């Protein structure tokens, strides 16, 4: 292939309507040309995502977000060479909107369609910064996942650790709510933590002494509840919880990297936007790769990047019969 190709990516797995466009150069380099996300606000009044409302809002917004993305990239629909959309995991009704839209668009344009795994998208979000070279470890920390994968070769994902209860982002969200800091909790905790004392609330390290590389946040959540009832200020609670969560995530990942002999670690997903987490990882001496700005939380560009990787690897397009899957383990692709 001697020409650059442009791939459209769509993610509607939860409460963000994301459309992104990337350019794949003949040498395999990728560049994000557009990344537009509509973050649904309709759920705030319920304190959590209402699946049916999410689906409806995706339907209402997706046309506009696509037009915005094309405008940002300075492209027309006919400039696209492939379309990728998330098929899972996520909310089935929400996933279906982007998946069907993507298939229809690919069919109408006569270009290949690729279904993408949401977590692979999160991992590939880091490919916008540095071309990923296997082997590496990938820590995906989001509102729905805390998964640690060993990636020994392209498309091979060996799960080496996962949360036993809440996801990391979920813990940030729940503790922020408890402390009255608002939603989404990650950015709220991070902001409040700057004004708090990280040593003021003692948090016990979860799963101390484990041989494996699992995660757990329920103990931190209970400790936060007790501290809140005991009169800890929101700022002190935020600073102390953030420090404990960051320490635990970094320590477990570094242990896994040593055990598996990996030097490169990709950290992605919404929680990877956390400044304290980034700083702690940067001090580990490992080669740590984070997604670029706007690519940590759910977005369409990361799905376009997954599509670009499929194109580059000359994978066969997905059949248009592919369906949405609520639970889809990231198996070897
Ligand atoms: O990847 P994402 O957009 O959605 C899922 O696939 O779940 O991640 C959203 C999660 C939320 O729980 C949010 O609170 C968290 O990412 N998050 C953060 C930060 N920004 C977003 N957590 C910690 N620090 C942040 N700065
Ligand atoms: Zn996500």
Q: Looking at residues 68-73, what average pLDDT do you find?
A: 98
Residues with Cβ within 8 Å of residue 49, at least 6 apart in sequence = 14, 15, 43, 91
Q: What is the mean pLDDT of the chain?
A: 95
Residues 95, 87 contacting (CB under 8 angstroms): yes
Q: Is residue 203 very low, low, confident or very high in pLDDT (cuts 50, 70, 90)?
A: very high
Protein residues whose CB sits closer than 6 Å to any atom of ligand 1: 14, 142-144, 169-170, 172-173, 184-187, 190, 269-271, 273-274, 297-298
Q: Is the pLDDT of residue 261 over 60?
A: yes
User: For 143-158, how does the pLDDT look when each residue is reduced to its tens digit (9 = 90+)?
Assistant: 999 999 999 998 899 9
Specify which residues 110 forms β-bridges with: none
Q: Is the pLDDT of residue 184 over 90?
A: no
Q: Is the pLDDT of residue 94 over 90?
A: yes
Cα–ligand 1 centroid distance for 228 (angstroms): 22
Cα–ligand 2 centroid distance for 3 (angstroms): 31
Nearest-angstrom CA–CA distance, 135 and 149: 11
- Per-residue pLDDT, 127: 84
pTM over the 0.85 mark:
yes
Q: Is the pLDDT of residue 318 over 60?
A: yes
Q: Looking at residues 123-143, what average pLDDT do you find?
A: 90
Burial state string for 206-222 with b = 16 or more CB within 10 A and e = fewer than 16: bbeeeeebbbbbebbbe
Ligand 1 atom showing the smallest separation from residue 172 Cα: 14
Nearest-angstrom CA–CA distance, 149 and 264: 12
* Look-up of token digits 């702690």: 280
Phi, psi of 230 (to 5 degrees): -80, 0
- Per-residue pLDDT, 128: 81
Inter-axis angle of helices 275-282 and 185-193, to 10 degrees?
70
Q: Tokens for 328?
A: 């889809």
Cα–ligand 2 centroid distance for 39 (angstroms): 13
């Amino acid at each position: 292939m001697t020409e650059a190709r442009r791939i459209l990516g769509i993610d509607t797995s939860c409460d963000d309507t994301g459309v992104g466009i990337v350019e794949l150069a003949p040498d395999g380099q990728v560049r994000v040309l557009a990344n537009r996300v509509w973050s649904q606000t309709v759920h705030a009044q319920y304190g959590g995502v209402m699946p049916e409302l999410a689906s409806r809002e995706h339907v209402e917004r997706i046309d506009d977000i696509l037009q915005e993305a094309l405008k940002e990239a300075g492209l027309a629909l006919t400039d696209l060479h492939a379309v990728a959309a998330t098929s899972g995991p996520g909310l089935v009704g929400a996933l279906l909107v982007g998946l069907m839209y993507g298939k229809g668009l690919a069919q109408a344009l006569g270009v290949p369609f690729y279904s993408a795994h949401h977590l692979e998208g999160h991992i590939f979000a880091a490919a916008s910064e540095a071309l990923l070279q296997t082997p590496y470890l990938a820590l995906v920390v989001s509102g729905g996942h805390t998964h640690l994968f060993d990636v020994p070769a392209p498309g091979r994902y060996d799960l080496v650790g996962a949360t036993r209860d809440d996801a990391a982002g979920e813990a940030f969200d729940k503790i922020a709510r408890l402390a009255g800091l608002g939603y989404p909790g990650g950015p709220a905790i991070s902001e409040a933590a700057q004004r708090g004392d990280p040593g003021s609330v003692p948090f016990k390290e979860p799963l101390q002494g484990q041989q494996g590389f699992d995660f757990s946040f329920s103990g931190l959540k209970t400790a936060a509840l007790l501290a809140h009832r005991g009169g800890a200020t929101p700022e002190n609670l935020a600073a102390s919880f953030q420090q404990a969560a960051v320490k635990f995530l970094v320590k477990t990942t570094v242990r896994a990297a040593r055990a598996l002999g990996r030097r490169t670690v990709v950290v992605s997903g919404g929680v990877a936007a956390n400044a304290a987490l980034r700083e702690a990882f940067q001090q580990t001496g490992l080669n740590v790769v984070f997604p670029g700005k706007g690519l940590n939380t759910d977005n369409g560009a990361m799905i376009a990047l997954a599509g670009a990787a499929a194109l580059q690897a000359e994978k066969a397009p997905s059949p248009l019969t592919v369906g949405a899957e609520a639970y889809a383990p990231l198996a070897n692709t």
